[in-house]
A and B are shown apart, each in its own frame.
Chain A
Amino acid sequence: MELFHRDLNIDFLGMRKVSIVISTILVLVSIWAVAVKGLNYGLDFTGGILIQVNYEQPIDVGDVRASLEKAGYEHAVVQSLGGTREISIRLQPPKADAKESPDKVATAVSKQVLSALAVGHPGVKLAQPPDFVGPEVGQELKTSGIYAAIVVILGITVYLGVRFEKRFAFAAVASEFHDTVITLGIIALVQREFDMTVLAAVLAVIGYSINDKVVVFDRVRELFRLTRKADTPQILNRAINNTLSRTIITSVFTAITMASLGLFGGPAVHNFAITMLIGILVGTLSSIFFASPMLLWLGVSKKDLMPVTRENPELARRP
């Protein structure tokens, strides 16, 4: 069984103006979404207190929010934990207590919250002791996440610069940036919770997407070396078409595993799987529509890729 006909030759490069415009718009919208709407950071990043309570009777999330507001906790994030009686509440400890040891504050706040919730709803109970994360811990995680992304992208650039050529490295970095930003943008747009596993997934998306680009680039390099009369857009097109079925099959296989993780892996990895699925989609599309136009635009040509033989004078002198 084959996905595409062998001699398939879709003119992807012909669509480059449209595809680059779409990509640019998506990147801009994503930047807007992350900057303006912001990521819905989870407890890992914001720090704060996470309280899980069980009600005896089914309860509406709005009611919980209302009673919290009455008690003075206005920016609490209230979520249902699947059922109608289990609620999770995330809130920031009051600023005035900054000097107090944070775990004592957490205990005190959870007691106050519980008594506020008990008004009108007797029998509300803590499901487990409250979790809390100090604000500086979250801040550090954010910083180290950004560092990791930069280090990864730089490392990959250097490697590709050595193994391929600098234009390929630039195109790869541009695509990485494109994929990461759009993935983050979608998460910000739908306001999915951004926790530590999502950060892991975003970093993994970088790995996945670079994998995809390398395969196309490798084919570009090979075709440049094999073809005598090289018309760059034609070669890029052939490279994309030749690797198209691989690009799609691998994405489908990876997506299958991530879907199974998302559907059956439970809440701990749900966000991870969803982020990976978004990243796989974005990464696959950019391998086809974005990375190669970037190469063309950077002016890659046959002579950049011919195997370097002249550098060894010893070899050159031999007959």
Chain B
Amino acid sequence: MIDFPRWKYWLVGIAMVLGLLYAAPNAFRPQPAVQISPNHDARIDATLQKQVAADLDKARIPYEDITTGKDRMLVRFANTEVQLQGSDTLRLALGDNYTVALNLATTVPHWLQAIGGRAMPLGLDLQGGVHFLMAVDQDAVLKKQQQRYLDDIRSLLRQKQIPYDVVSQSGDGVQAVFKTSDDRDKATGAITTDTTDLNLSDSRTPGGGYALLATIKPDVLQKLAQTTITQNVTTLRNRVNELGVSEPLIQQQGESRIVVELPGVQDTAEAKRVLGAVATLEYHAEDESVNAQEAARTGNVPPDDRLYYTKDGRPVVLKKRIIVSGDELVDASQGYDQQTGMPDVNVTLNSAGARKMLDFTTSNVGKRMGVVYIEQTPEVKMVDGKEVHTSKTTETVLNDAVIQGVFGKKFQTTGLSQQEAQTLSLMLRSGSLAAPMQIVEERVIGPSLGQDNIRKGERAVILGLVLVLIAAAFYYRLFGLVADIALTFNLLILIAVMSAVGVTLTMPGIAGIVLTLGMSIDANVLICERIREELHHGSTPLASIRAGYEKAWSVILDANVTHLLAALGLVTVGAGAIKGFGITLGIGILTSLFTSVTMTHAITALIHGGRKRKLKTLWV
């Protein structure tokens, strides 16, 4: 069969090799491990390794080995039970200086990792853990913003000395009432120059007053809603780090939901406490007369001051007096400096905050000011057999900077990288404009259930594959065997693609794989039936093969495109389990199109085309 081009043989060959190579990492089971990473100025070194080993020996917890990396240490254990004991012991022994997290250490050989080979991450249903769905209360955020504009308008009118009767919240906007239409026009002008976020409309009140209704523009609202979600995702991510989960999933779902999946975690109560922490912000003046490094070393801090640390462990000494606190901050957003084009963070205060800030900066230009992020996490401890509710406070300096001039309501923080500016604005928002969240869905999957699911899923895949292989070989003989090779490679290439893309494997995903196995053989059935038909009509074997592939192609294409449309529909439903299934099915349809048509054609051409003598019969 000369009509099968050489490059297609190569394509098929390369696909087979790549499929094998990139599916291979999944055969190496990850090993339960505990990951230790340093906080503040703590270090990962040989001393720590010895200490960890000694701690584990003392508690008689067997471990397999300890590897020390640049910024983390991995202790591997034989099974999850020992892993949990180990992590509890180490968490207690190492204290606050280190974060101890459950982890699954890869056992994939280095050369395979070097070429990018990695196993599919396992979904919660396959490895156990907690799943939360959190709803963000967008209404509360909206109310807060309306209050902000109300304050703004009121103080603006006062500042511009425009007389007004009343400024109040009305429906979904702010209403200001004036005695004359002249005052109203002045107010409209003042507001328009002050902000572009509002839609203004005129009306008359029943009492004969001239009313001005200000509503927040829809695109501003939409942006606000999106920032709220992003900000909450960032906050949650920071908090989850505290829980010691090495690979948490925190993701927006739909317009106002956030999914939080914490593999390995079983204690929902603790997780909820950490996720439900309350955050605030405080602006403090920096005490530059004190050497912060020195103070951190000796612990000597003047009575009016306090020692704080930044996220990366740098000590900062701030005065105790608060200049402005988080509830006086009405907006923080990342932008760009108009002169230099460098990223900056724009902060807006309400009128009370603005006054205090103005007072402070007037006499402190050239000095430094720091902003502290304070998070309070409720804790429950058992004391004498009773539950004692306390709370743990963590304080971090987000940023400290030199005051460049006198400012009040609005100011910018500059000298930041794009990334830093983004993070700072989100953290400022979470400390001040926190949107309340509620857990609306909660599920716990035990670790043994996860193991059980993997085992059963594997068994179903293998059994399904073997049965179809036997049935195809039995019914279509040689062509069935060719289809079998293609089907096996379809499974491998499907797994390889899923691994390379990084699709999380879940139980519905496994169902998708099994379904793909059953349905991808359909193309071969179509081709083989066609070949049989052609033979029956009296065509020669080679012509039958050619006609079989040609005539079956259009129907295979139509059938697969429509099927792909259905898979796309599944993906757009969005919710976790169905999405995973749809993605698997979609990738499976694409890979099967390649394996069951191109690959079988290549193999068939190889078997029948190479023969010099005339082909008399086909074993189909």
Contacts and interface: CB of A to CB of B under 8 A. Distances in A.
Interface of A: 1-2, 6, 101-103, 106, 128-134, 136-137, 140-141, 144-145, 147-149, 151-152, 155-156, 159-160, 163, 196-197, 199-200, 203-204, 206-208, 210-211, 214-215, 218-219, 222, 242-243, 245-246, 249-250, 252-258, 260-261, 263-266, 268-269, 272-273, 276
A266 B456 contact: yes
A152 B558 contact: no
B558 A218 contact: yes
Given A207-B567, A222-B551, 6 more contacts: A102-B440, A103-B439, A134-B440, A163-B558, A203-B582, A257-B465
A207 B441 contact: no
Nearest to B555: A218
Given A204-B581, A242-B533, A272-B511, A160 B439 contact: no
B569 A261 contact: no
A159 B558 CA distance: 9
B393 interface: no
Interface string B570-598: 10111101100110010000000000000
A66 B582 CA distance: 41
B467 A2 contact: no
Q: Which 9 A-B pairs have the closest CB atoms?
A: A207-B566, A152-B569, A134-B440, A257-B518, A254-B518, A266-B456, A257-B464, A265-B460, A218-B555
B511 A197 contact: yes
A263 B443 CA distance: 25
A253 B508 contact: no
Contacts of A131: 442-444
5 contacts: A148-B570, A148-B573, A211-B519, A211-B522, A253-B522
Contact of B514 (A200, A214, A265): A265
A94 B246 CA distance: 37
B563 A210 contact: yes
A266 B463 CA distance: 13
Contacts of B472: 253
Residue among A103, A206, A268 with the most chain B CB within 10 A? A268
Interface stretch (B178-186, B295-303, B524-532): B524-532
Contacts of B525: 246, 249-250, 253
Nearest to A269: B511
Contacts of A106: 442
Contact of A155 (B475, B565, B585): B565
Contacts of A242: 533
Nearest to B537: A6
Interface in B1-15: none
Contacts of A128: 444, 446
Query: Interface size bucket, B side?
Result: 35 or more
A249 B525 CA distance: 7
Contacts of B135: 134
A265 B510 contact: yes
Nearest to B438: A101
A196 B558 contact: no
A103 B130 CA distance: 13
Nearest to B135: A134
Contacts of A6: 533, 536
B342 interface: no
B526 A203 contact: no
Contacts of B456: 264-266, 268
Contacts, number: 217
Contacts of B573: 141, 144-145, 147-148, 199, 203
Contacts of B254: 140
B510 A215 contact: no
B444 A210 contact: no
B510 A133 contact: no
B112 interface: no
Contacts of B463: 260, 264
A200 B582 CA distance: 8
A2 B528 CA distance: 11
Contacts of A103: 272, 438-439, 442
Interface in B482-513: 507-508, 510-511
Interface string B340-360: 000000000000000000000
B562 A266 contact: no
Contacts of B529: 243, 245-246, 249
Contacts of B533: 6, 242
Contact of A265 (B457, B555, B561, B563): B457
B311 to A, nearest CB: 30
B125 interface: yes
B563 A211 contact: yes
Contacts of B28: none
Given A137-B440, A207-B585, A148 B569 contact: yes
B559 A215 contact: yes
Interface in B110-166: 125, 133, 135
Nearest to A216: B555
Nearest to A132: B442
In this complex, the member of A131, A140, A148, A208 whose beta carbon has the largest number of chain B beta carbons within 10 angstroms is: A148
A254 B522 CA distance: 9
A149 B460 CA distance: 28
B510 A269 contact: yes
Given A151-B569, A268-B507, A256 B558 contact: no
A260 B562 contact: no
Contacts of B517: 257
A104 B471 CA distance: 54
Interface in B446-465: 446, 452-453, 456-457, 459-460, 463-465
Contacts of A245: 529
B133 A137 contact: yes
Contacts of A214: 555, 558-559, 562
A261 B578 contact: no
B521 interface: yes
Contact of B562 (A137, A140, A159, A254): A159
A257 B467 contact: yes
Contacts of B468: 253, 256-257
B532 A2 contact: yes
B477 to A, nearest CB: 8
Contact of A203 (B441, B522, B532, B569): B569
A214 B573 CA distance: 24
Contacts of A1: 474-475
B467 A141 contact: no
Contact of A102 (B439, B510, B560, B566): B439
Contact of A257 (B515, B559, B563, B585): B515
A196 B460 contact: no
A80 B460 CA distance: 24
Most buried by A among B439, B442, B446, B536: B442
Given A148-B573, A196-B577, A269 B464 contact: no
A101 B132 CA distance: 14
Contacts of B519: 208, 211, 250, 254
A103 B132 CA distance: 10
